[in-house]
Amino acid sequence: MEQEVTSVGHDVQVIDPDVRMHVYSLVTALGGFNGEDADRYMLGDDALSCLRDIRRWLKLYDQRNNRMDVVRCLGEANLVIGDILPILSIWWANGQNSKHLTRVALACLELLVPLTWPAEYHSQMTANHHRHTPYIQQIQVQYKRSILKYGGSNLLRAVIRIALPSMAIPRSERESRDEGILKLMLYFLRNMAIITTNDRLAAEGDEEETSRSATINAFQDQDAFALILTMCSNVADDFNQQDVVLLEILFHLVKGVSVDKLFLNDEERKAKRSDELGDLLRKESQVKREYARNAPTRHGRFGTMIWVKRDEHKVSTVSGQNILRDDQASLQKMDETKKWKKPRPRRRKEDIVQYNDFNVPAHLSLLATKNFRTFVEEFLDSGFNPLFTHVRKAIEREAERVTSINARQFFYTVGWFLEAERARRARQVIQHAQNGKSAKDVEPDSYGLVAGVLNQETFISLNRGMQNSLDNKEWDDLTAQMRCFTQILLTVQEMAFSPIEEDQEIADNIQNRIFYEETTHDRIISIVRGYKDQGFGYLDAATELAHVFLRMLERYSKINVDLQIRSKRQARKRKKDAAQAKPQEGAEDEEDDNSEDRDLVDSAQVTKERAFDFKRFAAKFCNQSCVDTFVAFTAFYRELNSEQLKRAHRYFYRVAFKQEMTTLLFRLDIIHLFHRMIKGPGAMDSSKPIFKEWEEFVRQILRRLTKRIDQRPALITELLFSKMNSTVYYLEFGHERQTISTAKRPPVELQFISKETLTKEGKQGVVVGALVLDGRADLVKWLVDVLKSAASEREAWEAGDEARRAENAEATSTPNPLIHVKPADEFIENAMFSNAKLRLLMESIGLERLGQEDVRGAQWVVPASMSSTDLNEIIATINKSVLNPMPEGSNEDPRQLLRRKETRSVRESLAQGTLDVKFGSDSEGEDIPEGPLFPPNPRSKSNALDELKKKRKKKSRDSEDTEKEPLDDAILEERRQARLANSLARQRKIKSDLFIHASDDETDEEADREFFRLEEERRKEQARNVEKAILMGDTELAQSESNGKGKKASVRKRKSDTTAAEPKRRRRGSGSTGSGGDEDDDILMADPDDLSPRSQQEVSTSHGAQDEDTPLTSTEDEMDFDDDLVFSRDRNRLSKPVAAEAAVDSDEEEEMLVASSSRRMRGGFVIESDSE
C-alpha cells in the first residue's frame, strides 16, 4: 500500500485504489439522503461505527505513514458537506436529548477537527504532501463556506453545545474525556479562524463568504465570541489547559486588522474610504500622465531600435518608441536595461508561514467592524489580564502544550490589544469633547485593565525573546516582539500623562527600568543596523521601534537629568584593560597590594561613569548601516502613509541637523531618491501635509551638498561610496578629529605596616628588600650609583668650602648646591614615575621632587641638607639590604610590610558615594548589581520593629487625614525634603571598616606595658581573695543567705562597684563610660567630629593593645569581673556576711556581666572606627 500506482497515459493514480475503495465504502455506509424526501438525511444502521472506522483510517494510515491520502479521499467523497454537516444539523434541530445522536454528533466533531486542520507548506514536506496540499487547501475553503452558511443552521452553536456539559463540570472533577472535548471545540473554532482563500489557487465561489468579515459575523451571531470571553476571563481557575488555543484563536482573528479603522465612527469611516478612493484615483491619473509623456503616436506602430554611441567608440542598442524623444530618455532607457544580480549567500530553508503571516492587511466590512469592536472592548475589560498572564507563564516554563509559534503569536497579540486600548481611549476623549464635557468632568480610567503585561516579568521575557531571536536570526519572531515593545513604550508614554498619580508613578518606574539597561539600547541599535533583506514588515517594525525609543528616551533624559544606566560592558572593559596593562608595565608591582582597597576605588569609578548622555547615544544611530536601513524604508514612499513618512523624515533630520552628520547622506543613490521624491518621476503627492516638510529638507540637503563640494572637491569622489568612520569627520568639518591625550596618573603612594616602630634605616631596608624580591635589583643598583656620584660631588664641595673658610675665617659658608638625579635610560625614567616602591625608597632616603606637578619626567634632586657622610651611610644601608633582603630578626616578607596609602580624595569619594545612595523601588524585580558599597541605614532588630509599628500607626493616621482633606503641593514638597534630609542624616551615621586607616595600627609601647602590668596585679589579687575566702568558710554562709535578697543586694552592690571603678577604668582608657545604658546609646550615635583628640587617642591605644597581645579571653569581660574585685579590696573594713554575699553573688551574675560587656565592646568598636 506504500507504492503508488501510475497508469500509462494522462491518468495518474495518486492514491492507492484499495485505500480509496475502503474509504468510499465507509462513507457510503454512513448514510445519505432518502429518495422519497430528498431534503432529509437518513443515518445508516452502523453510522457511529462507520465514523469511528473513518477516524481509525485517519490515525493509522495518514498520521502513522505521514501521508494525506485518506484526507483527500474523504474530500473527494464529500464527507463533510454531504454527511457530517447534515448530521450536526439534525442533532441541533431535534436530537439533543438523544444519547445516541449526541454520541454521533461528538464523533462527527472528532472528524471535523483533523479534516479542517490547516495544511501549510513547510520544510519537512514529502512528495505526497506536495501532491495533495493544494487540493486540501481548496476543499477546506469549501468546508468553511458550508459551515458558516449551511442552510441557516447554527453549526458553530451546535459544536459549542456539544462541549457545554464538559464546561459545566468543575475543573477538579473533569476527566480526560471532558478535557478532550473542550480541546476539540476550541481547535475547531481555531481552524475556522485560520482557513482563508489561497492566493495561488483559483477561487471558487464568492470570496466574501469565507473572508475574515464572514468569520467575525458568524462568531458574533452564533455566540462564539461569548464563549471565548467566558473562557478567557476564567482561564486561571477553570480552563488552565486551554489558554494556548484561546491565544491562537485571538491571533488569527486580529492579525492584519487595522486598529485605527476599527475605532472609527460611521462618518469618519466613510470619509476614510472616500480619501482612500481619492488616493487611488489620483495615483491612476498620475500613471496615465506618465504614460502619456512617453506614449507612441498613432502612426508609430513599428518597432524602433537605435544605437547610442558611448565613450571609447562603444555602441549600445536601445529599443522603444520613447527613446526618440531626447538624449536623456535614451540614456534612462539604457540605464533601465542594466540589471545586476547581486550574489546572495546561501540561507537556510525556512518554513513558509502562510497562516501566521501578520503583515498582510485584512479588510473588514462595516458590520464586521462593529461586531469585532464590541468583542475587543469586552475582551479588554474582562479577559486581557487573565489570559496573557497565564499564557506568559506557560511560555516561560515551556509547557508541553506550547509550541515554537506561540511565542510569536503572544507578543503580536499583546501589542495589537495594547494599540487597541490606546485607540479606544483616544476615541473616548474625542467623544467627550464632542459631547461638550471637559476633562475635569470625566472620571479618568486607570490602566489596570492592561497591567498584566506591564510588569517586570513581561519585560524580562520580552528582552530575552528579542535577544534570542536576534541571535538565531528568527526575523518573524523578532518582528512580533518589536511591535509589542513599541506598543508597550507608547502605552507607558500615555500613562505618564495620565491624570491619575498612581499611573504616573508606575509609568516613571517602568521607564526607569527600561532605560536603565544599556543592553536594551545596544539591542535597538543592532536591530536597526542589521537590516538586510528581512522584508518590509521587519523594516517597518524596526524603524518604528527606533523612532519611538529615541523620542521617549530623549524626553525622559531631559526630565531626569541625573539618569543612570547600567553598563556591564564598561566594567568588563576596565578589568580587561587592567589585565592587559599589567604585564606591559613591569614597574607597577604595587598592584598586588591591598586588593580590597583597589576594588573599592574601581567600583567607585564605574559608578561615576554610569551617567547617561543622550547625545552620545543618539550618535550611535548616525552610521552608514542605520542610514541604509532608513533609506531602504523610504524607498517605499509611494506606499507609506503620513506617519511612516514622518518617521523617516525625523530620522534624516536628526542625522543631518541635530547630529551634524550631513555627510552620511551625501551618496548618489540617496540624493537621487530624495530628488525623485520631490521632483519625480513618481514624486510624492503634493497635497499631503508631510510633503512640504520633505521638500524643505531636500532643499537644505542639496544646498549643503553644493556648498560642501565647493569647499572640498574630494567629496565628488566620495559621492560614489558609503562613508567610513575614519573619513566622515574630515568630510564633514574639513579637519581630522582632535584627540586630547590625557596624562598618565602617578601610582598610589605606599606606606609601611609594622608592629614595631621602624627606624629610618629599617624603612630603607624594607623597601630595598621588596625591590630585590620583586626582581628590581637593577633599580637599586642605579640608585646606589647615583648616590655614590652625589657623595663624591658633595665631598669635593665640602672640601672646597673648608679650604675657603681656612683662608678666610670670617667668610660665610656657601650652602651645598642641589644635585640632580638623572635617569640612565628611558626605562629608569618610567620607573621613577610608575614604580611606587622606587619612589618610596627615594623619599625615605631624603630625595626631593621639584615642582608641584607629579608627572613623568619630573626632576628629583639630592637636597642641600644631606652631607656626604649621610649619603655614604645610606649607601652602606642599601648594600647591606641587597645582600640580605629579609629584615633583621624576622622572616616576614618585606613586601607584606607595605600597603597602599589611602589618599584623602579616595576617602572623600567613598564618603560622597555613601551619601549619594539611591534607594531602589519597592516593586518586584528590582535589580541593582553595582549599587552602594554597603547597605544604607543598618539598624538593630528591636529598633526596626518598633519603628515599623510606629510607621504603620502613622500611616493609618495619615490615610484618615488624607480622606478628610487632600494635601496641597507645598506640604508634599516639604515632606519630601524632610524625608531626604532624614535619609542623609541616617546615612552619615553609617560606620564601616573602610574608614580605618594606618594610624589605627600604630601602638604605644609604654601604655601597653602599663596596661598589662595592672592586669597582672589584678589577676594575682583575685587569686589571693578567692583562696582567702575558701579558707575562712565564707562560701557556705553566702549560700545560706543567697535566697530572697541575695540577687537584689548583689545588683545594688554591682552598681556601686561600677561607680567606684570609674576612675580606674578611665585611667585604663577602655573607651566605654561604664555608666547607664543611656550614656552608651549616646556614644553609639555620637558624631565622630564631636570626639576629642584625647579620647580618640586613648581609644585607639587601648584597642590596639587589646587586639595584638591579649589572650583569647575578652579584656572587656575581665574588666567587668575586676570591678567586683575592686570592691572586695576593702573587705576587711566591711562585715563578714556582706563580704561572703558579695563573693557568692559575683559568681551567680557572671552571665549578666558578660552581656553588659558585649554592649561596651560594640560602643568601643564604633568609636574606634570613627577615630580618624
**Range with top average pLDDT, 247-261, 317-331, 911-925:** 247-261
Residue 53: how many CB atoms within 10 A of its CB? 17
Confidence tier at 1045 by pLDDT (50, 70, 90): very low
Task: Provide CB contacts within 8 A for 668, sequence distance 6+.
Answer: 719, 720
What value does the mean pLDDT take over residues 159-187?
Answer: 92
| 1139 has a pLDDT exceeding 90 | no
| 1091 has a pLDDT exceeding 50 | no
Task: Provide CB contacts within 8 A for 293, sequence distance 6+.
Answer: none
**Range with top average pLDDT, 63-77, 439-453, 586-600, 788-802:** 63-77
- Phi, psi (rounded to 5 degrees) for 820: -80, 140
| 1057 has a pLDDT exceeding 50 | no
Q: Please give the angle made by the CA atoms of 967, 972 and 973, to the nearest 5 degrees.
A: 145
From 590, 890, 583, select the one nearest 770 (Cα to Cα): 590
DSSP string, 170-211: -GGG--HHHHHHHHHHHHHHHHHHH----TTS---S-GGGGS
pLDDT score at 52:
93
| 1067 has a pLDDT exceeding 80 | no
Helix axes 475-496, 404-434, angle to 10 degrees: 30
pLDDT score at 724:
83
Higher model confidence: residue 7 or residue 764?
764
pLDDT digits (tens, 9 = 90+) for 40-90: 888 888 899 999 999 999 999 988 888 999 999 999 999 999 899 999 998
pLDDT score at 794:
86
Q: Give the integer Cα–Cα distance in Å for 466 and 530.
A: 13
Q: What's the 3-state SS for 1011-1029?
A: HHHHHHHHHHHHHHHHHHH
| 1078 has a pLDDT exceeding 80 | no
* Single-letter amino acid, residue 3: Q
Sign of CA dihedral 529, 534, 540, 541: negative
DSSP string, 865-876: T--HHHHHHHHH
Lowest mean pLDDT, pick from 459-473, 865-879, 893-907, 1130-1144: 1130-1144
Helix axes 243-254, 224-233, angle to 10 degrees: 130
What value does the mean pLDDT take over residues 481-505?
Answer: 92
pLDDT score at 985:
63
Confidence tier at 295 by pLDDT (50, 70, 90): low
pLDDT score at 930:
39
pLDDT score at 210:
86
What value does the mean pLDDT take over residues 846-868?
Answer: 83
Residue 555: how many CB atoms within 10 A of its CB? 14
Question: What cell was used for 448?
Answer: 489596570
Task: Provide CB contacts within 8 A for 1109, sequence distance 6+.
Answer: 1008, 1012
pLDDT digits (tens, 9 = 90+) for 610-620: 688 888 899 99
| 669 has a pLDDT exceeding 60 | yes
Confidence tier at 342 by pLDDT (50, 70, 90): low
**Range with top average pLDDT, 606-610, 695-699, 754-758, 1163-1167:** 695-699
pLDDT score at 621:
92
Whether the bond into 681 is cis, omega within 30 of 0: yes
Q: To the nearest whole number, what is the mean pLDDT of the chain?
A: 75
pLDDT score at 414:
95
Sign of CA dihedral 1120, 1121, 1126, 1131: positive
pLDDT score at 988:
52
Share of the chain above pLDDT 70, in %: 69
Question: What cell was used for 578?
Answer: 587592567
| 1140 has a pLDDT exceeding 60 | no
pLDDT digits (tens, 9 = 90+) for 353-407: 667 788 888 889 889 999 999 999 999 999 999 999 999 999 999 999 999 899 9
pLDDT score at 634:
95
- Phi, psi (rounded to 5 degrees) for 45: -65, -40
| 674 has a pLDDT exceeding 80 | yes
pLDDT score at 541:
95
pLDDT digits (tens, 9 = 90+) for 885-943: 877 666 778 888 888 876 554 444 444 444 444 433 333 333 433 334 344 444 444 45
pLDDT score at 648:
95
Confidence tier at 820 by pLDDT (50, 70, 90): confident
Share of the chain above pLDDT 90, in %: 30
Q: Give the integer Cα–Cα distance in Å for 111 and 55.
A: 6
Q: Give the integer Cα–Cα distance in Å for 784 and 778.
A: 10
Confidence tier at 946 by pLDDT (50, 70, 90): low
From 8, 147, 5, 174, select the one nearest 86 (Cα to Cα): 147
Confidence tier at 693 by pLDDT (50, 70, 90): very high
What value does the mean pLDDT take over residues 553-563?
Answer: 89
| 213 has a pLDDT exceeding 70 | yes
pLDDT score at 972:
63
Residue 119: how many CB atoms within 10 A of its CB? 23
What value does the mean pLDDT take over residues 948-970?
Answer: 52
| 316 has a pLDDT exceeding 60 | yes
Confidence tier at 1019 by pLDDT (50, 70, 90): confident
Q: Is the entire prediction scored with pTM above 0.85?
A: no
| 4 has a pLDDT exceeding 80 | no
Cα 229 → chain centroid: 34
Q: Give the integer Cα–Cα distance in Å for 309 and 306.
A: 10
What value does the mean pLDDT take over residues 569-577?
Answer: 46
pLDDT score at 884:
82
Higher model confidence: residue 445 or residue 652?
652
pLDDT digits (tens, 9 = 90+) for 425-459: 988 888 878 777 765 666 677 888 898 999 999 99
| 962 has a pLDDT exceeding 90 | no
| 1165 has a pLDDT exceeding 90 | no
What value does the mean pLDDT take over residues 11-38?
Answer: 82
Supply the Cα-derived Rg of the chain in whole angstroms: 45
Phi-psi region of 937 (alpha: psi -120 to 50; beta: other; left: phi over 0): left
pLDDT digits (tens, 9 = 90+) for 112-159: 999 999 888 877 888 888 888 889 999 999 999 999 987 667 899 999
Q: Give the integer Cα–Cα distance in Å for 90 and 1160.
A: 93
